[in-house]
């Protein structure tokens, strides 16, 4: 048996809260926390008074970037189905689930429809048996309500969540920005923000009708948050997520045609950004993810309309999330519910906290280390961050997966 004692730590757990103490790990699982008796044969790690927290579970990444995940304190990822090939068959799902172990556990989100086209349902049950932890619509919306209802009903019977992209494609079309002064001034094709609320309303009604579990991967508008609050009060099994970009940036960030700020969904107006911050504070938002979608200069250094949407978010997720704590929006233990415990629950994983018996997926970090975001210095390689040049605080120091240091 291997025994490791993490001493002189500041423990942060989404369930137990924040406290000083130690953590004892035996054979990859947490067996004691707080005041612990350290066995004579235990390996000891002095945490130096730094924070010891659950490793991040990043729900909804578009690429496997191990170096970036390690630097960002990410121990598990839920991989979106939009790869090449699309994750719509069990062989691909099984391969995706195996390639990261033992250092990184990948939990595939299988495609809800064949090829993510939105017409014919994929082999959801077989993909689930091959390791898929959810099914998803990918980057797009299933326009056919009949197909979406069947997806939700089938997922309910499989007891897995449906991860939906909530934008009405009939309104968004080829838009790359949100209707508003910035899009008008730059001459960018844009769509009204209500495209999100329309999609959210439809999906909520179908989830309520079928009794399925629905996770709206990114919600970014005030109208959509109001719909989700009302649905939660009615008992609809809905959760929603967001990335730091839609919390800290508004549509102004695309000024000067900054393609690193070309995201999907697009950045919103300031009123919607403030609504997102309020939704984080009041518990409407359940998950904070990186939306990690790295792209090289061949996809980003193009005219704005021709560039590929997405950002490299894994290495900046923690410091940008800690800004919410410093601003008094959330407590530190609730932040790790957003980063770890809630994603684990949605995916059906027995992880994401420092409770006894849980896997020792651990991150040691210094919440106060100052640094400046520089995309060119990212360990993962891709530099497409809209936060380039922003001064932040908070660095991941070490990461363990199942008690084994990565």
Return d(Cα 2, Cα 217) in angstroms, integer. 38
Q: How far apart are CA 24 and CA 42, in angstroms?
A: 9
Domains and their CATH numbers in the chain: 3-51+361-405 (2.30.40.10), 55-347 (3.20.20.140)
Burial 89-118 (b: 16+ CB within 10 A, else e): bbebbbebbeebeeebbbbbbbbbbeebeb
Share of the chain above pLDDT 70, in %: 100
CA distance 385 to 374: 8
What's the mean pLDDT in 38-54?
A: 96
pLDDT tens for 97-106 read: 999 899 999 9
pLDDT 10s digits, 167-225: 999 999 999 999 999 999 999 999 999 999 999 999 999 999 999 999 999 999 999 99
The tens digit of pLDDT for each residue in 249-296 reads: 999 999 999 999 999 999 999 999 999 999 999 999 999 999 999 999
Predicted confidence (pLDDT) at residue 1 exceeds the cutoff of 80: no
Give the per-residue pLDDT at 288.
98
| pLDDT at position 336 over 90 | yes
pLDDT at 66: 95
Q: What's the pLDDT at 381?
A: 73
Model confidence at 396, in pLDDT bands (50, 70, 90)? Answer: very high
* Section 368-376 average pLDDT: 96
Torsion, Cα 76 117 158 105, to 10 degrees, reads -10
pLDDT bracket for residue 338 (50, 70, 90): very high
């Amino acid at each position: 048996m291997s025994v490791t004692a993490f001493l002189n730590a500041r423990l942060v757990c989404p369930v137990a809260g924040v406290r000083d103490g130690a953590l004892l790990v035996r054979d990859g699982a947490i067996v004691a926390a707080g005041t612990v008796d350290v066995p004579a044969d235990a390996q000891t790690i002095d945490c130096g008074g730094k924070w010891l927290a659950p490793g991040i579970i990043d729900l909804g990444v578009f690429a496997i970037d191990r170096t970036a995940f390690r630097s960002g304190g990410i121990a598990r990822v839920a991989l979106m189905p939009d790869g090449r090939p699309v994750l719509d068959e069990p062989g691909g799902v099984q391969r995706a689930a195996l390639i990261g172990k033992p250092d990184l556990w990948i939990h595939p989100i299988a495609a809800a429809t064949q090829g993510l086209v939105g017409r014919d349902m994929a082999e959801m049950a077989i993909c689930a048996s091959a390791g898929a932890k959810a099914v998803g619509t990918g980057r797009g919306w299933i326009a056919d309500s009949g197909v979406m209802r069947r997806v939700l009903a089938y997922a309910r019977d499989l007891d897995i969540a449906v991860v939906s992209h909530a934008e009405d494609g009939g309104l968004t079309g080829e838009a790359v920005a949100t209707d508003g002064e910035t899009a008008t001034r730059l001459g960018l094709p844009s769509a009204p923000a209500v495209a999100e609320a329309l999609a959210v309303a439809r999906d909520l009604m179908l989830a309520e009708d079928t009794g399925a579990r629905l996770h709206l991967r990114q919600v970014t508008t005030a109208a959509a948050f109001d719909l989700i609050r009302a649905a939660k009060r009615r008992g609809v099994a809905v959760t929603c997520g967001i990335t730091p970009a839609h919390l800290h940036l508004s549509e102004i960030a695309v000024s000067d045609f900054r393609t690193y700020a070309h995201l999907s969904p697009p950045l919103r107006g300031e009123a919607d950004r403030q609504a997102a911050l309020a939704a984080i504070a009041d518990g409407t938002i359940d998950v904070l993810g990186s939306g990690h979608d790295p792209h090289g200069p061949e996809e980003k250094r193009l005219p704005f309309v021709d560039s590929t949407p997405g950002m490299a978010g894994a290495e900046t997720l923690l410091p940008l999330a800690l800004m919410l704590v410093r601003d008094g929006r959330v407590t530190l233990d609730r932040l790790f519910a957003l980063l770890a415990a809630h994603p684990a629950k949605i995916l059906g994983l027995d992880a994401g906290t420092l409770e006894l018996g849980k896997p020792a997926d651990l991150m040691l970090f210094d919440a106060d280390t100052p640094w400046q975001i520089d995309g060119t210095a990212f360990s993962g390689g891709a530099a497409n961050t809209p936060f380039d040049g922003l001064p932040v605080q908070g660095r991941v120091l070490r990461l363990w997966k199942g008690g084994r240091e990565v």
